[in-house]
Amino acid sequence: MATRLVNCRVGLENKESTLPNQLKLDTEMLKKVLDVMLGFAKGGITMIVASHEMGFARAATDRVVCIDNGKMLSWMNPNDTNPKKSRTKEFLKHIL
């Protein structure tokens, strides 16, 4: 029931059995999905999300884990713009 409600909110009705690589997420749809997830976060729902969308991460999270080649580099506050690890700094420099 909850999945159907979310799917309707982002325009993915009747796509519950569709594989992720079969979905086309254009910019408008991506914004709808992120807005729904932001609403969940503001409502106190805990989520684990993998994303390169740092604006979303800052708005929706209280912790960010940076992972490189399957290994955790750092665990940080999403508003931290000066991480301690050089690899994390390098990554953030390219996406911010």
- Helices marked H in the chain — which ranges? 2-10, 27-42, 54-60, 86-95
- pLDDT tens-place string over residues 46-96: 888 888 888 888 888 888 898 888 988 888 888 887 888 888 888 888 777
Q: Is the pLDDT of residue 30 over 60?
A: yes
25: left (phi over 0), alpha (psi -120 to 50) or beta: beta
Average pLDDT value for residue range 9-26:
79
Q: How much is the pTM?
A: 0.68
Give the model's pLDDT for residue 2. Answer: 62
